[in-house]
Every structure is written in structure tokens, then in C-alpha cells.
A = this chain, B = another copy of it.
Amino acid sequence: MRINAWAARKPGAELERFSYEKEVGRLDVLIATKYCSLTRGDLGFIDNFWGDSKYPLVPGCETFGVIEKTGIMVEDLRVGDYVGVGYQVFSCFQCEYCKIGKEQFCQKQKVIGVNEYGGLANHIIVDSHFVFKIPPKLRKLDYVPLLCSGLTVFSAIKKVNPKVGMKVGVVGVGNLGHLAVQMLDKMGCQVTAFSHSKEKEATLKKLGARYFVNSIDKEELEREARKYDLIFSTSTAPLDWPVYLKALKPQGNLCIIGLPAEEISFPAVLLADYAQRGILGSYIGSRAEMRELLDFAARHNIKAIVQAFPGEETNNVVSKMRNQEIPFSAVIKLK
């Protein structure tokens, strides 16, 4: 069938109308798309930031829609199901990681932007293993960012397994960070938001941050030394890594969720400064974590602060994102 999408034809290009042919395979489902977000990750792919983008590039790593057709071997999804698709759309299910339910580490994985076209289209055809039923409560556009941004945050948090009462920081509170604040608060942590956007303070406190630190103010940052069990860095801007390492308690961990272009660098001694500190990376999440997240979000009403736009405004949204004019999340209404 013919699928009508928006695509960038070369690195950094404006999105334009683009259509492609794809058929529903035996294990695939055809989804009529309803909402699709645009994130910093999409900008990265449009710009070939990681060097592995394929053009034409159809963005869209967080898509909600309704199933219109299922492949003959699909048993657990039906026509009419309300579903979501994230960033990963294939894994081998045979390697050592797939076998233990950590498909996100499969070396044969396929992801949107590199191997497949994304959800910024009227339809998307996806391997049913990576299509998730969306609970009724979550079938609104402000839950769309859970599918990749939310999953990446959730998986990073799960990895370090924060305990109730822990003092945690979230640095850079945009799309990823404002979801992290909510999740950590709901897990019983004492959350501090670090941001250079003082105007976000009231909103972040409503979302669950108990404290706000102005991250432009170096003195204010230095006063946080040795206070945090965990700090989640969700910014893609380069950070003052030493000051955040110093803000960790002796056995604290700095979890890198946002990926800055610049190298991370710091004096080695800060890891061992009467301490045993760590820096941890994270990468999307498993299918099991996605299901757990959808359940957790439904129970605790965790959702994004979304600005919604019609499909014709995609290029406008991209330029707003480039100009830092989207404080949290952007979602395109496709129909």
C-alpha cells in the first residue's frame, strides 16, 4: 500500500510531503496514525547528528493510532485496538539480550530514523512485537511522549532503583526532565529540579519537584555538594560535569539520559573523592519496561505538558524546537 508521510530529503532539510510503498507482513500491523510527537531526537535524526540517519528521513518515534489491519500471524492485537509505537521497531529475539527480555540491546535491532520510516505519516506498518496497547485512560495526546522519552527516562530510573526518601536531582527539565520529575516524585523520592529557566519553577513544583536550583548560578550549584543520591541529566547541552559529580553523595550516581554533542569530561579524582561515585548511561528500554511504564503512568497520571499542532505545521514546530520555543513536548495531530 501507499503511505503518505513527511520527510527530510537530506541532512537538516525542511520536511516535505513524501510517500512510500510498504505491505503488511505476516507479523506486522497497519496503524492509522492519530498523534505523533517531534522531539530533540527527531531533530538529531533530521540533522544526521549521530551520522547514521537514512534519507528520505520520516521522523516520529512516538506514535499513537488505531490498528486497521493485522498480519496473518498476529494473535495478540486486533483491528480497532488503540496502540502506540516507540523508537525501536525490530529485534532478533535470538541473541543473548533478546533471550532475557532486553531487546533494546539487540545488535540487530531496527529503529526509526536509521532503519525504518517513522510515525509522521497517515499510516505506519510495524512489527507487532513493538506495538503496545494503550490503556483507555492514556489515549490522549499528552501521553504520547511516554513512548520513547518516557521509556528512556523510566528505564534509566529503574536501572538505579531509587529508594523511597532518596534525594534526587533532575538537570534540564524539558521534554525528558519534566517526565523524570513526575516519575521520581511518584516513586517517593525528594526531587530537586535544576534548570536555567526560572520561569519553569512553579510548573515543576506542581509536577512534583520539592526544590528548584537555578543552574546558571554556579554558587547555588556548589552549595548542593554531597547532597544527592542520584542525579539524572536530561539536558542535551554540555553541563559543568565536575559540579554535578560533586553534588553526589559518596555512593551517588549521575545518570546521563540526554546526550550532549560535546564530550563528557571531568577529573578522575571526583569519582573517588572520599566516594565511590558513578556515571551511568541509558538507552530506551525493553518491551517489558514499556508495559510497566504504561501501567505506572495510568496509575499515577503521569503525562507530558504538550503543545499540539496540526500536520501542516511540522516545519514550524521544528523551527520552534530549534529556537528553544517548546518548553516541554510537541505533538502533531495527524487526523
Contacts and interface: CB of A to CB of B under 8 A. Distances in A.
Interface string A153-184: 00110010000000000000000000000000
B50 A251 contact: no
A256 B269 CA distance: 10
Given A250-B105, A279-B279, A269 B274 contact: no
Interface stretch (A205-213, A260-268, A326-334): A260-268
Interface string A248-264: 00110100100110111
Q: Is the interface of A mostly helix, strand, loop or mixed?
A: mixed
Interface residues of A, number: 40
Given A97-B250, A269-B259, A283 B275 contact: yes
Contacts of A106: 274
B279 A283 contact: no
Nearest to A249: B105
A107 B274 contact: yes
Copies of this polypeptide in the complex: 2
A48 interface: no
A272 interface: yes
A318 B200 CA distance: 57
A280 B277 CA distance: 6
Interface in A98-126: 102, 104-107, 109
Contacts of A102: 250-251
A282 interface: yes
A273 B253 CA distance: 19
A267 B105 CA distance: 19
Contacts of A253: 278
A275 B273 CA distance: 27
A319 interface: no
Nearest to A97: B250
Contact of A264 (B155, B226, B265): B265
Interface string A178-221: 00000000000000000000000000000000000000000000
B275 A278 contact: no
A262 to B, nearest CB: 8
Given A264-B265, A273-B283, A276-B281, 7 more contacts: A105-B275, A107-B226, A155-B276, A262-B268, A263-B267, A278-B281, A279-B279
